[in-house]
């Protein structure tokens, strides 16, 4: 059975393509899922790709990933900067955790400079736009010894 990588997306990412395209680009969440699926297929990985606007649902999925995923990629959106609950859930994940952002939060508003996700993550990919999703899948594969 192929190793499973969970890619979880937080609030407002369902609006990609129309939400501030000058920052986030014109690709939709479905486009990003297709990018991830292509990368996963090429690396012999199984992909679980989800999005929620609800913090508790993301926490539940992170807890699920503890037993079902070899690696976790998380674009927590605004919850990156506010959610201790997500941080605490990530601390329970034994496998690699990759924090992902389309934009570079450090080039944006000061409140985006703090990440509660980063301190519970193996690494961070930020500022590469949609290509960051492909990079995250490749990083996950390498971290679990599949790439």
- Collapsing DSSP to helix, strand or coil, 143 comes out as helix
Q: 81 CB contacts (<8 Å, ≥6 apart)? A: 105, 111, 112, 114, 115, 116
- Specify the DSSP element, H or E, that contains 25: none
Say whether 101 is catalytic: yes
What distance separates the 2 farthest-apart alpha carbons in the chain? 44
Catalytic residue among 6, 87, 101, 116: 101
Give the total residue count for the chain: 147
CB atoms within 10 A of CB 92: 11
How far, rounded to the nearest angstrom, does the alpha carbon of residue 103 sit from its chain's CA centroid? 13
- Pick the catalytic residue from 24, 87, 116, 133: 24
24 is catalytic: yes
Catalytic residue numbers read 24, 101
């Amino acid at each position: 059975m192929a190793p499973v990588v969970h890619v979880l997306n937080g609030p407002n990412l369902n609006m990609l393509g129309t939400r501030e395209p000058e920052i986030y680009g014109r690709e939709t969440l479905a486009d990003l899922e297709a990018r991830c699926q292509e990368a996963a297929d090429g690396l012999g990985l199984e992909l679980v790709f989800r999005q929620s606007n609800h913090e508790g649902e993301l926490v539940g999925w992170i807890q699920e990933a503890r037993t079902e995923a070899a690696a976790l990629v998380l674009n927590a959106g605004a919850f990156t900067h506010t959610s201790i609950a997500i941080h605490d859930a990530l601390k329970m994940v034994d496998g690699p955790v990759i924090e992902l952002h389309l934009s570079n939060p450090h080039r944006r508003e000061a409140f985006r400079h703090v990440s509660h996700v980063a301190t519970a993550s193996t690494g961070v990919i930020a500022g590469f736009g949609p290509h960051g999703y492909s990079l995250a899948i490749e990083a996950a594969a390498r971290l679990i010894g599949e790439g």
